[in-house]
């Protein structure tokens, strides 16, 4: 959500920032609607004052025995009452139109975000690790002999349809170990607070983080009206929904491991093989709630937290900053981390870390009370994967694969597998 006062003060700057996101100027339309709303509010307040004045005069007319004036004033009050109700309803409608218009405009990019139209204009920040040189043709994860017994797409299709998977045996255990490793690292080394949240949320929670109303088709809604979360960003960020927290409690740094659900609308034909793009998947999600002046540094901190997981797993990756045309709706700056997948011979996204400024906070009405007693201010929010568990499983399997179909597993996972170090070609842990 955008600040209408900032748009009034500098509409040219707002349009210039909107143009960086590839959208047409909107400030004049916003201000016209805002002016009509304010005029209607003023008119209703004026009519209300006239109604109150006439109501007071009724008593005086009655006391003076002036029946004609009494009846005239009573009719005037009744007319004014109807007029005020009509004007208030019109003002409320205009206010909702303005809110809807502001809610449909994407967040404004920070000045240091590169200008661009799409993913081809993203800027690489750095790389870590050297992709392994194989002496055989590396396979994709679902093609490995050791993986096939524990990764069943046919049964999943029978149960639920396409873009689902049933994991079992050693593969399910490695998947679980990855999630536990991520949680332990984030809580014990990165200072995040482990949090367990619902995966069914109310509609206003989806609105608060920007999934609604514009992107409803990307998620699933139950008959009862709840929404299945596309990521734990939704419940974690909304912990401060409609709250005014003490400044001393900031920053708040949360981490949660949850199931996530996405319809994958618009992705027909993309990544149909394997478990790279699923309707149901797991993520370890990080969310930070900060003071305004700290959010840019917090973005870098969270990025390092996610990168550190890959480094501990010895998985080569690269980090890029998304250009203005490729950023998500609610972001002011986004760092994507892409892990190397030898089976595809390319880097693929495994984490996206975004700073949202006060964009979500305005939608949620989430503020903090300054320690010096000043006026409450909107918090800043950030979110990022730390990491996508399924995609991390893919990376571990493909980067550790051997010619015989077995997989050497990262040392960091050995304690979580009770000392097992390898996925054998027959699908067992040894």
Residue 44 annotated as part of some ligand binding site = no
50 is known to lie in a ligand binding site? no
> 371 a known binding residue?
no
Is 267 noted as a catalytic residue in this protein? Answer: no
Query: 262 catalytic, yes or no?
Result: yes
The b-or-e profile of 151-185 (16+ CB within 10 A means b, else e) is bbbeebeeeeeebbbbbeebbebbbbbbbbbbbeb
Asked whether residue 350 is marked as a ligand-binding residue, the answer is yes
Which of 352, 354, 367, 406 does the annotation list as catalytic?
A: 352
Q: Is the dihedral of CA 218, 279, 183, 400 positive or negative?
A: negative
The answer to whether 264 is annotated as binding is: yes
- CA dist., res. 362 & res. 382, Å (int): 14
Write down the catalytic residue from 37, 252, 391, 422.
391
Place of tokens 């975004």: 354
The annotation status of 122 as a binding-site residue, yes or no, is: no
SS3 category, 135: coil
Which of the following is catalytic: 76, 203, 311, 349? 349
Q: Which of 252, 253, 262, 332 is catalytic?
A: 262
How far is it, in rounded angstroms, from Cα 263 to Cα 18? 28
Based on the residue annotation, tell me whether 363 is a catalytic residue of this protein. Answer: no
**Is 331 annotated for ligand binding?**
no
Cα angle 414-419-424, degrees, rounded to a multiple of 5: 85
Active site residue 362: no
Catalytic, 28? Answer no
Flag whether 263 is marked binding. yes
- Alpha-carbon span 242 to 51, nearest angstrom: 35
398 in a labelled binding site: no
Residue 57: CB atoms within 10 A of its CB come to 16
Q: In what order do the strands lie in the sheet with 227-228?
A: 200-201, 227-228, 220-221
Is 349 labelled a binding residue? yes
Establish whether 385 is an annotated binding residue.
Answer: yes
Annotated binding site: 231-233, 262-264, 285, 349-352, 383, 385
Annotated binding site for ATP: 262-264, 349-352
* Residue numbers annotated as active site: 262, 277, 349, 352, 391
Annotated binding site for L-serine: 231-233, 262, 285, 383, 385
């Amino acid at each position: 959500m955008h600040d209408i006062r900032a748009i009034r003060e500098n509409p040219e700057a707002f349009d210039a920032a909107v143009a960086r996101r590839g959208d047409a100027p909107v400030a004049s339309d916003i201000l016209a609607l805002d002016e009509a709303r304010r005029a209607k509010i003023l008119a209703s307040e004026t009519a209300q004052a006239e109604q109150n004045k006439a109501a007071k005069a009724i008593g005086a007319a009655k006391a003076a025995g002036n029946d004609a004036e009494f009846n005239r004033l009573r009719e005037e009050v009744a007319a004014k009452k109807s007029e005020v109700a009509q004007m208030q309803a019109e003002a409320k409608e205009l206010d909702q139109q303005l809110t809807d218009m502001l809610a449909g405009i994407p967040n404004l990019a920070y000045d240091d975000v590169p200008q661009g139209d799409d993913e081809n204009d993203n800027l690489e920040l750095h790389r870590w690790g050297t992709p392994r040189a194989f002496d055989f043709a590396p396979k994709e994860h679902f093609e490995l002999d050791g993986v096939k017994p524990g990764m069943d797409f046919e049964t999943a299709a029978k149960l639920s349809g396409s873009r689902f998977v049933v994991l079992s045996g050693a593969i399910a255990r490695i998947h679980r170990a990855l999630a536990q490793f991520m949680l332990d690292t984030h809580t014990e080394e990165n200072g995040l607070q482990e949090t367990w949240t619902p995966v069914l949320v109310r509609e206003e929670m989806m609105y608060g983080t920007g999934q609604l109303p514009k992107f409803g088709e990307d998620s699933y809604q139950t008959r009862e009206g709840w929404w299945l979360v596309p990521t734990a960003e939704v419940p974690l960020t909304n912990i401060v929904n409609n709250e005014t927290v003490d400044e001393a409690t900031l920053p708040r740094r949360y981490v949660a491991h949850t199931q996530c659900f996405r319809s994958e609308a618009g992705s027909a034909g993309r990544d149909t093989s394997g478990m790279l793009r699923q309707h149901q998947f797991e993520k370890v999600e990080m969310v930070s709630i900060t003071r305004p002046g700290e959010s840019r540094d917090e973005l870098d901190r969270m990025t390092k937290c996610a990168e550190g997981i890959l480094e501990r797993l010895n998985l080569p990756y690269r980090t890029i900053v998304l250009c203005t045309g490729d950023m998500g709706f609610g972001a002011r700056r986004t760092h994507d981390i892409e892990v190397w997948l030898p089976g595809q011979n390319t880097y693929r996204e495994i984490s996206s870390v975004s700073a949202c400024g006060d964009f979500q906070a305005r939608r949620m009405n989430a503020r903090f009370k300054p320690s010096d007693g000043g006026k409450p201010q909107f918090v800043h929010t950030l979110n990022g994967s730390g990491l996508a568990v399924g995609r991390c499983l893919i990376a571990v399997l493909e980067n550790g694969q051997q010619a015989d179909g077995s997989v050497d597993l990262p040392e960091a996972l050995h304690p979580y597998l009770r000392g097992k170090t390898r996925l054998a070609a027959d699908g067992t842990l040894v």
